[in-house]
Amino acid sequence: MIEFYAEIRQAHIAAVLASGSLFLLRGVLVRAGRGDLALAPLPRYLSYAIDTALLTAALMLLSILPSAAYSNGWLAAKLALLPVYIAFGWLALRRSGTGGRQLACFVAAIAAYGCMFAIARTHDPLGPIRVLSGG
């Protein structure tokens, strides 16, 4: 399966970008008072489909890469941030949340996504710090 590494990696990256973009769009819609659109069946099911593809590609990459490729802890750091992103994202899109709390959760979810992205790009658990410091 290693011969498909490049294609699986590209599918994973595309799913990451699609997932983040859809979350950002849905969050902006909620903030704009259009939660009915953000929480409609189409964007919800599209989100499930994209996230399923994302997880599938991630598990495929995990299974074909040698463990030395992620032995410095970058993958563990990224996986530790995933439930943080999910939890804050869920709270940001809830119908019953207050405006200030929803905004704080939305910003926190975007920050968690950004940290995971930086960690993935640098393959370093301190990726966000490295990116911010220019190193």
Per-residue pLDDT tens over the stretch 54-83:
999 999 999 998 888 888 899 999 999 999
Residue matched to tokens 């074909």: 64
> Which of the residue ranges 19-28, 48-57, 71-80, 94-103 would you say has the lowest mean pLDDT?
94-103
Q: What is the pLDDT of residue 61?
A: 93
Residues 27, 21: Cα–Cα separation, whole Å: 10
CB 119 within 8 A of CB 130: no
Q: What is the pLDDT of residue 1?
A: 79
Mean predicted confidence (pLDDT) in 104-125: 95
92 pLDDT tier (thresholds 50, 70, 90): very high
Indicate the pTM of the whole model. Answer: 0.88
| Per-residue pLDDT at 100 exceeds 70 | yes
Q: What is the pLDDT of residue 97?
A: 67
Mean predicted confidence (pLDDT) in 77-90: 95
Residues 104, 131: Cα–Cα separation, whole Å: 23
pLDDT tens string 101-113 = 999 999 999 999 9
73 phi and psi angles, rounded to 5 deg: 95, 0
Q: How far is CA 71 from CA 21, 25, 39, 77, 81, in A?
A: 29, 35, 39, 11, 17
